[in-house]
Each structure stands twice: as structure tokens, then as C-alpha cells.
Chain A
Amino acid sequence: MTVAPSPARALTIPAPSQITRPALAGARETMVLNMGPHHPSTHGVLRLVVELDGETVVDVAPDIGFLHTGIEKTMESKTYQKAVVLTDRTDYLAPLSNNLSYVLAVEKLLGCDVPERATIARVLLVELQRISSHLVWLGTHALDLAAMSVFLYGFREREQILDIFELVSGARMMTSYFRVGGLAYDLPAEFEDAVAAFLQVMPGRIDEYEQLLTDNPLWIERTQGIGAIDGEAAIAFGLTGPGLRAAGVAWDLRKSMPYCGYEHYSFAIPTATHGDIYDRYLVRMAEMRESVSICRQALQRLKDHGPGPYMTLDRKIAPPPKSEITHSMEALIHHFKLWTEGFRPPRGDALAAVESPRGELATYIVSDGSPKPYRVHFRAPSFANLQALPYMARGHLVADLVALIASMDPILGEVDR
């Protein structure tokens, strides 16, 4: 069985067997190298089957599934409320974005309204999440290219964001803070000051990172002109997020198909033209600045709005507050029904998409009218983005492959689910 080697710019996405089978049959003159799954530069457990001509990459086939935990299957056996915790565990660097995509899909099924305060808090928190996720990307990306200090600085600010998450939800990473109909708890009193303090320092810190990298000749040498992709190919592969925008396509769901009231915020969609690693870096850096600006606007809105309900008042969806349960029989019944049985969305299916730090994260839910989702599917951005890797990598060196993986920022928990 022989497969013709892919031309450098072919839009093919080989499966591992398409490289290993001809190699084992001795049909090709090239060398096949196994990278990963345990390799510091693979950002998790990504295995790459790389076909090499000398040091040049002829073809790459990502081999995934090492982190497959059957989240979609497990969700079918949980009630809608209980399944929220599983969404945290797909993209573990942006759990709030996952929570948001899932609860938006369920709310769409239910046709349920969310109070204004909860919507603003959701926007604020997912933007903080975007910054924290981009900081991990920045740190590990620089670390892969032997720049250690950015990692340490980046994690300093990320810590501040995780402290805010801990403040609101009690957990630093697996937050499960967004619930169907609103938020799990109200924002604490210290929240506004903590966010304000972070927003105060963050723009200066982004300047610091940029000073270390943007004009750094070593950084430019390793990233410019490498792994380039044009807008047309990016769309063909289903690439979304910073990778697509770096290729010159100004597509961002927050602007294009707004959710959670993003149309009321003023922010720009950073784009670039070359679609190479350096441009993806520039786009993400600019995105962090935009996120800081959105957070500022959201914080102001939160102050203007003042206290109010943080959960829908529909008792068929959200349980009543404890104070009501102690003296209202009806409230007690609602509470009991919701936690023993759950709510029943009407029959139908809904897809809700959000712009996660990595691209378009969509949750597709089929309801059969029972309290448990009949089918849940995540359109995970990392999973789709990975398909562009062979196209980007062909013709470059093995060392560039390391930079390339980092620049795509794949989260394997989300790829494998």
C-alpha cells in the first residue's frame, strides 16, 4: 500500500496510518519520527507522526485520543444542572468559556431569560478567562522557544485572575460558576475591587511581555514566515480564533453573531495579514488588550446596574433562595423537584456558539423532553484547528514544528473530550 507524498500546500489531513503504513512497507525514502505523546512541547498528550526528509517535514499526522474520557457520553446520564461540571474539564484552561457555551445552549432549549447582572458578570469573567488562557499560551510558547522569563511573568498575572475566580466560585480552575439561568452565587463584595486592581496593572504588564518579545530578533527569527496559512485555506480546514484572524479573516463571534450582549461593548477585532506564527502572536497580544478594555466596560456596567437578581426567577428552572424554602411550601416543592428530578426542556435541539480563547466553541444539545440531555456534542475549537497543522508544517524544520504547535495553542482535553 503506497500513498503518494502530499505536495507541500495540499489541503490534505493525513491519518497516522497513511504515513506509517507506506513507511513500514519500505515504500518511501523518508524517515518517520514519532513525537510525543509525552513531550514537553506537545502541551498535553498529542502524538505526532512526522515524515522527514533530513530535517525537513514532509508530512505530519496528529494522533489524538489519549485524553478521551467520554465526556459527551457521560453527560447523557446526568441531569442538565449536573452536567455543567463536566464542561469544565474539556478545555481546562478556559472552563468558564465552556460553562458559558453549555449554559447558553440549555437556556436556548428552555427559552429562558437571564438577569442583566448575570449577563454582565458572564462577559466580565469570560474575558478574564481569555486573558488567563492567553497568558498560559504566551508563557508556554515562549518557553518552547527557550525564553523562560515570559512564562514566569505571565503566570504571575494569571495567578491574580485565578484568585478572582476563587473569590467568585471557590475554585481556581474547575469553576462551574455559570449555571443554567444565571450564576451559581452572587458576586462577592470584594469582587469589583479585585477586578479593578487587576485591570489597573494589566496593560503595563502586557507592555512588559511585548518588550521581551515583539522586537526580539531571536523571537522574530523563529516565528516570522513560519507556519503561514491564508484565509481561504484556514476556512477550508475549519480554523477559528486567533489563527483565522491572523490569516486576515475578521471573524469573531462576539462581533459577528453577538451573544450575552457583546453588541453593547466597544472593542476591536485584531487581525493580521501573513497568518504565520508571529502574526498569531501579535493577534493574541492585541486580543488581551481588547479583553482588558471589555472588562473595564463590563465592570462599569456592573457598578451602574447595582445589586439585583443573579439567577432567573423562573422557579421551574432555578431553585428558590434558602430564605424562601423555610417558610413557603411551594418553594420547598420547587427545590425538591429541581434537585431530585431536574427541569425538562421541550423536545428539540439547539446549538450555541461562543468565541472561546481558542476559537469557536459550540455546544449542540438534543433534548427528548426528559431531564437529561439526549445528546451533547462539543464543537471544540482545538479539535478543528488541529486539522490545519499538516498544511502549516510541511516544508519547515522539526524545530519549527515545536513553535507551530505552541502557536496553535491546542488543549488536548478539548481535542479528545
Chain B
Amino acid sequence: MTIENNTVLTRLRTALPDAITGSAEFRGDLSVFVRPARIVDVARFLRDDSALRYNFLENLCGVDYPGRQLRFEVVYHLLSFTNRHRICLKVGVAEHDPSVPSLTGLWPGANYHERETFDMFGIVFIGHPCLDRILMPDDWEGYPLRKDVPLGAEEVAFTFNQERIYAHKPFARE
């Protein structure tokens, strides 16, 4: 029932040779590095190919690597119900233009995951129907899961310090 990593990789490389920039295997899991512009093509091929059929978008998240040429990485995990196999797609994104095409056209369920990745890392998903913040308040500034955001605490407003806090955090007033 299961499929070999090499079979998947060969099939993918044959079909879309220019979209793949590399691959890696760690603890038996296959990761494929994809050019940002081609992520939708790759995902569509993996979903619709009769032998692969990665029909389920399992996970989508971002990782921040400050210092790398492509600072951000968007990580996709696709799952094939028929082959019981998981593939990981990785897309590098530059800091000056953090954008990737959206997968919401293929899986509507990419919606929340992309909103969360935008909210946490500031990565823009082009073609997303409504890329609002999802977990943080709408007027929060910055992207908390970036490595240059320090781990801090939310100050709690009491009567003795509320004016100072509200001055730089107007949304807390409500």
C-alpha cells in the first residue's frame, strides 16, 4: 500500500523538473524544495497524479532563519490517503518580498493555515481570499514568531499604570 520516497521523487522530478531545487531525507521523511512561483503547480500535480494522490493538506507553517539568503521557509505537509504517505514541501522566501502563491484554490482548508503563517511571520499568500490576522489583534504591530521579536510578556493594565500602557497599546482600552 505504501509508496517509496524515491518513486515519488522520480515521478515529481520527471513531471516538473524545473520546479524542484532539491530534496532531502531525514528519518525516512521526504522533503522537497520547491521554487516559490511553482508551488501551486507542484501541489496540483501531487494532488491529481493518479499514482501519487496527495489529497490532503495536512499542515502548513512558516519557519524563520535570519541570516539566510531566503530568510523564511514555508513548510507544507501533504498526505496521501491512498498511499498512506506523507511528503513535505519547502519553499524559501526572501525577506524583501515575503510572498508565496496561495494554495486556497486547491484546498479551501489552506485558508486558516495561511492566515496564521501571515499573522506570525508576515508572509503574504498571493491569491488568498482574505488575508487578515487570525490569532493576534488586528492592530498588533509586527510578526511575533519571527526570531527578532523577543519573548516578552503582555503588561496587565491596572488603575495605577493604565495610562502608560494605553499610550502605546490603544487596543487594550476596550
**Contact partner of B130 among A14, A236, A360, CB < 8 A?**
A14
- Chain B interface size, under 10 / 10 to 19 / 20 to 34 / 35 or more: 35 or more
Q: Interface residues of A, CB < 8 Å — how many?
A: 48
Q: Are B58 and A360 in contact (CB under 8 A)?
A: yes
Q: Does B77 lie within 8 Å of A364, measured CB to CB?
A: yes
The A interface, classified by DSSP as helix, strand, loop or mixed, is mixed
Q: Is B102 part of the contact surface with A, judged by Cβ < 8 Å? A: no
Q: Measured between alpha carbons, how far is A416 from B119 in the docked complex, in Å? A: 12
Report how far A15 CA is from B64 CA in the complex, Å.
26
Q: Which residues of B contact A348 (CB under 8 A)?
A: 26-27
Q: Using Cβ atoms and an 8 Å threshold, which residues of chain A touch B77?
A: 351, 362, 364, 379
State the CA gap A251–B82 with chains docked (Å): 10
Q: A13-B112, A353-B58, A377-B61 are in contact. Are A64 and B135 (CB under 8 A)?
A: yes
How far is it, in angstroms, between the C-alpha of A77 and the C-alpha of B113 when the chains are bound?
A: 23
Whether B112 lies near A383 (C-beta < 8 A) is: yes
- What separation, in Å, do the CA atoms of A11 and B75 have in the docked complex? 24
Binary contact track B62-95/A, C-beta < 8 Å → 1, others 0: 0110000000000101000100101010000000
**Is A18 an interface residue when CB atoms closer than 8 A count as contact?**
yes
Question: Nearest chain-A residue to B61 (Cβ)?
Answer: A377
Interface contact B130-A18, CB-CB below 8 Å: yes
- Please provide the chain A residues from 368 to 417 with a CB less than 8 Å away from any CB of chain B in the complex: 374-375, 377, 379, 383-384, 386-387, 416-417
Highest count of chain B CB atoms <10 Å: which of A11, A17, A73, A249: A73
Q: A111-B27, A349-B31, A387-B109 given; name 15 further pairs at CB < 8 Å.
A: A15-B132, A65-B135, A236-B107, A236-B108, A238-B57, A238-B107, A257-B86, A351-B88, A360-B58, A362-B59, A375-B145, A379-B58, A379-B77, A384-B112, A387-B112
A: residues with CB less than 8 A from B are: 11-18, 64-65, 68, 70, 72-74, 76-77, 108-109, 111, 235-239, 249, 251, 256-257, 348-351, 353, 360, 362, 364, 366, 374-375, 377, 379, 383-384, 386-387, 416-417
Q: Which residues of B contact A (CB under 8 A)?
A: 26-27, 29, 31, 55-59, 61, 63-64, 75, 77, 81, 84, 86, 88, 107-113, 115-116, 120, 129-130, 132-137, 144-145, 149, 151
10 examples of A-B residue contacts, CB within 8 angstroms: A235-B56, A236-B108, A238-B107, A257-B86, A362-B59, A362-B77, A366-B63, A379-B61, A384-B113, A416-B135
